[in-house]
A and B are shown apart, each in its own frame.
Chain A
Amino acid sequence: MHFPKSRKKEDGLRIMEKNKKATAPLDKRGKRINSNRRRHRGRLISIGYLLPSAVGLLLFFVLPFLIVVYYSVIDNPISNQFVFLDNFVMVFQNAAFRQAAQNTFTFSISAVPLAVVLSLFLAMMLESRIPFKSQFRTFFLSPMMVPIASVVLIWQVLFHFNGMINELRAVFDLDKIDWLNSAYAQVVIVILFLWKNLGYNMILFMAALSSIPKDILEVAILESATPFQIFFHIKLRYISSTILFVTIMSLINSFKVFREIYLLKGDYPYDTMYMLQHFMNNTFSRLDYQKMSAAAIMMAIVMVIIIGILFLTENYFGKDVEG
């Protein structure tokens, strides 16, 4: 996610091409081909390559999104009365929406830090010298590949009231917990989320850790720095932008956790598992465009804020390390 801050290379080329004008190839009629015109043509052609995707994006994402914005500020698609923020207020006062937003929030708050810390831990472990490294990497990554729908059956068996986890707890004289139908439901979802996402995050961290310059680490060891000092003062600083990226990606993935819950419990799960996507789905089935649009826009605003924070912080941290 980097914008090129300078286009020096291309500027250089442009100058080169200007100088080359005199030696530019001859066209059929013996005139020198104007390189400016050629550039212009090339630019037009490159836009042509871009066009199919851009038109598709415009048609399927951007334009309908503008319509959604429009829908969110009118009272209904027939009378088209402008009501400004009424829909938002209505959605916000909806108990189901508040519950869903709160659940999504608490889930993200608890799952994302765990995902970051645990995956960093796994990556550090695979970075150090242990046998069967590549096998471990394969094992940690495999949950990412397996469709959630396939393992949901086992998950239901494991966390059933009379399931294996409760039997394990019984060994330690702990009470049975009805995992999927109580306040503990969120714990199950967090575990499922971690299981699915740790491998992905781990790969990102491994790449970041391996890109730390080796000489700096060697100097630190020569200066008899302790492993903790090396970790906190060198490694963490070098991977700070990756930590940020992993946090954002985990946050985005945590919004997608509806899939797991739906496959486990269907349209109306236990209260603490009722996520924003459930709210949207159930509004879809009633075809309440106004409510849907308002909710979608609120989500979009939250996402834009999160992405904005990502860009600002990345710029900040990027300078920090390079300087």
Chain B
Amino acid sequence: MKLGAGRRKSLNEISLERWDTVVKRKKRWRLRKKAVGVTLKTVIAACFAILFLMPILLTITNSFMGASEISSNYGQVFATNDSGGKVYISETVNLKFIPDMVSFSQYITVLLKSPEYLFKFWNSVILVVPIVVFQLLVAAGAAFGFTRYRGRVKEIIFFIYIILMLMPYQVTLVPNYLVSDWLHILDTNWAIWLPGIFSPFAVYLLTKYMRRIPISVMEAAQIDGAGEWQIFRHICMPLCKGAMCSIAILIFIDYWNMVEQPLILLSDEQKHPLSVFLSKINAGEIGLAFAVATIYMVPPILVFLYGEDYLVEGITYQGGIKG
């Protein structure tokens, strides 16, 4: 409330004070309402956060239980699972947040005594890393091709990429299987690698990003005498570094999590990645399952903590909001 000095004199002092208190009360009321709203929202968000985090945290804390503690707590869950029949034991399953006794016995067994788990982990790495690297390389070239000299034919081809990207596995796996069969690469890692490397996903995202680079930048380089390779290598690639990181993270999550492809394309269980192997874990090994699960979680979580902003950016490009 700004009042001129001359006007204040002419007003009744008491009514002015009252007016002030009214305004203050209103302001305070509004502030209080806001504070209540903020606390309410924070509490709701916190509840959601707990729900979201709980499964992850439980897996991690449970991995520090001894084998006997696990089998006494959860033994029956996996026993019924295994026989397939419905064997109900009246005992309750005790879900524990914090183990009675912290022990690293699970990790010691997994890491030192039984190499098969590490072997499966290595399978996952071997399947995923080449896909991430080469899909990015192939996609970088393709995106450059789509960005330079756009024409109607290229737009149609790009449209095919989009449609194929959106197709669910149910559709693409049948063609993949047929090709692998003809090329005689079924049951080898190539059956997973090759369709992964040529997957249209990275091409789509990178093209969308590269097309946002102002054409004048490339034209300027061209006028200065740069060839296509130089434009690609010294202009597009440096500008796309961030986008490449985002896309690499997205590809990595997707393939680290894969289940369908190895199930169908690799009949040899020795070659299966850890994700498929974990689902087949039986009652005898349940004492180790949580440690194995936690170890399997570590790489994506590290990637996430390191590159969360890249990930968010990648998702945003996907939505085409920035594009």
- Any chain B CB within 8 A of the CB of A136? yes
- Any chain A CB within 8 A of the CB of B188? no
- Any chain B CB within 8 A of the CB of A300? yes
The DSSP consensus for interface residues of chain B is helix
- Any chain B CB within 8 A of the CB of A113? no
A146: B residues at CB distance < 8 A: 55-56, 297, 300-301
Report the Cα distance A132→B49, complex, angstroms: 11
Report the Cα distance A269→B127, complex, angstroms: 28
Contact of B166 among A126, A292, A303 (CB under 8 A): A303
B308: A residues at CB distance < 8 A: 138, 141
B59 lies within 8 A of A153 (CB): yes
- Any chain A CB within 8 A of the CB of B14? no
Report the Cα distance A155→B81, complex, angstroms: 13
Q: Which of A58-66, A84-92, A229-237 contacts B (4 or more CB under 8 A)?
A: A58-66
* Chain A 134-170: CB-based contact to B (< 8 A → 1; otherwise 0): 0111111111111111111111111011111001000
Q: Which of B4-12, B15-23, B104-112, B173-181 contacts A (4 or more CB under 8 A)?
A: B173-181
A199: B residues at CB distance < 8 A: 52
A259: B residues at CB distance < 8 A: 257, 259-260
A50-B145, A293-B174 known; A150 vs B52 contact (CB < 8 Å): no
Q: Which residue of B lies closest to A259 (CB)?
A: B259
A130-B45, A151-B293, A263-B278 known; A139 vs B53 contact (CB < 8 Å): yes
Chain A: interface residue count, which band? 35 or more
B279 lies within 8 A of A64 (CB): no
A60-B179, A143-B56, A147-B296 known; A157 vs B93 contact (CB < 8 Å): yes
B319 lies within 8 A of A207 (CB): yes
B175: A residues at CB distance < 8 A: 60-61, 63-65, 67-68, 296
Report the Cα distance A276→B175, complex, angstroms: 17
Interface residues of A (CB under 8 A from B): 1-4, 7, 9-10, 13, 25, 39, 42-43, 45-54, 56-57, 59-65, 67-68, 122, 125-126, 128-132, 135-158, 160-164, 167, 178, 181, 195, 198-200, 203-204, 207-208, 211, 242, 245-246, 248-249, 252, 255-256, 258-259, 262-264, 266, 276-277, 280-281, 284, 289, 292-293, 295-296, 299-300, 303-304, 307
30 A-B residue pairs with Cβ-Cβ distance under 8 Å, sorted by A, are A39-B149, A43-B151, A46-B228, A49-B144, A50-B141, A53-B141, A57-B160, A57-B161, A60-B179, A61-B198, A68-B175, A68-B178, A125-B44, A130-B41, A131-B38, A145-B253, A157-B74, A162-B88, A162-B89, A164-B95, A195-B51, A198-B52, A207-B319, A263-B278, A277-B170, A289-B178, A293-B174, A296-B170, A296-B171, A303-B166
Query: 10 closest A-B pairs (Cβ-Cβ)?
Result: A50-B145, A56-B198, A64-B175, A53-B142, A149-B275, A49-B145, A150-B293, A46-B148, A255-B168, A139-B49
What 11 new A-B contacts, CB under 8 Å, besides A53-B142, A157-B95?
A56-B138, A57-B161, A60-B194, A67-B178, A128-B38, A145-B300, A146-B55, A146-B300, A153-B278, A259-B259, A303-B171
